[in-house]
Amino acid sequence: MKIVVIGGTGLIGSKTVAILRRGGQYVVAASPKGGVNTITGEGLREAMAGAQVVIDLSNAPSFDPQVVLKFFETSGRNLVAAEAAAGVRHHVTLSIVGTDRVPDQGYYRAKVAQEKLIEASGIPYTIIRSTQFLEFLGSIADASTDGGVVRLAPALLQPIAADDVAAFVAEVAFANPRNGIVEIAGPERAPFSEIIGRYLKALGDPREVRRDPEARYFGGRLEEKSLVPMGETRLGRFNLEEWLRLSRKEA
């Protein structure tokens, strides 16, 4: 089976490609550097020829709301047009848990637009909504730092390891299209401040972590359950401490 992975050289993409190739599949790791560009359309027709499954793991180059929206709308339109022409039988997209619950966050609004485009495409699809990656906890802490204090909204977090995300993506690629949404998350749910605090303590980072009702999450206002699954959820294997141990072992 031929599988095309858009964003196949990124964090999740490279791990997903490795899993699929170990399973004996013919996988195209598509990226602009490799001559496949979903914005310009370059190389898309050639990449899609003979493909049964397309996995979209692309990521916008900016957090600017207008740039992100244009990226996902342009990329999505070009991608589904190429898939329709090639007769692709399953489109898999990685999205975010809570995209429809943080309307004032530009990146999330753009992901909602991407999801709607896929749903309307007529191509059989599965949307995988994932919670935040454990690999991004450092970036979240940095973006939330004011002086020596990390200010975080009083919301819950259920972060998942990139290895678990890739495993779920590969599994969904082999399954029948759901024509709906699958949600995945890490095994542990706790307050945002607790998880970030444990992460920083494990790294020996002296920053103080505070719960702040006025704190924003990359510009978005969070409610308690904005970023965690609300229904049936597939759970990953690694909690924070297990992931940290594994990361240190691999370093």
pLDDT at 249 over 80: no
pTM, 2 dp: 0.95
226 close to 98: Cβ distance less than 8 angstroms = yes
**What is residue 84's predicted lDDT score, i.e. its pLDDT?**
97
How are the residues of the chain apportioned to helix, strand and coil, as percentages rounded to the nearest 5? 40, 20, 35
pLDDT at site 32: 92
Please name the helix (run of DSSP H) or strand (run of DSSP E) that holds residue 97, with its range, or none. Answer: none
Average pLDDT in the 185-201 region?
97
pLDDT in the model for residue 63: 84
Please report where in the chains the tokens 């485009």 appear, as a residue.
Answer: 117
Contacts of 104 by beta carbon, 8 Å cutoff, 6+ apart:
219, 220, 221
Strand order in the sheet with 149-152: 145-146, 149-152, 208-211
CA nearest neighbour of 42 among 33, 50, 51: 33
Set out the domains of the chain in order of their start, with CATH numbers. 2-250 (3.40.50.720)
Going by C-beta distance under 8 Å and a sequence separation of 6 or more, which residues neighbour residue 117?
A: 72, 73, 76, 77, 80
For 38-74, write each residue's pLDDT tens digit: 999 999 999 999 999 999 999 988 889 999 999 999 9
Q: Which residue has the higher pLDDT, 63 or 206?
A: 206
Taking the CA atoms of the chain, what radius of gyration do you get in angstroms? 18
Q: What is the per-residue pLDDT for 61?
A: 85
Q: What is the mean pLDDT of residues 200-221?
A: 95
Smallest Cα–Cα separation from 226: which of 138, 132, 162, 160? 132
Q: Is the pLDDT of residue 251 over 70?
A: no
Q: pLDDT, tens digit, for every residue of 90-109?
A: 999 999 999 999 989 999 99
pLDDT in tens, 125-142: 999 999 999 999 999 999
Q: What average pLDDT does the segment 208-229 reach?
A: 95
Q: How far apart are CA 100 and CA 139, in angstroms?
A: 22
Nearest in space to 78 (alpha carbons), one of 124, 29, 28, 37: 37
**Contact criterion met (CB below 8 Å) for 185 and 131:** yes
Structural tokens at position 116: 């709607």
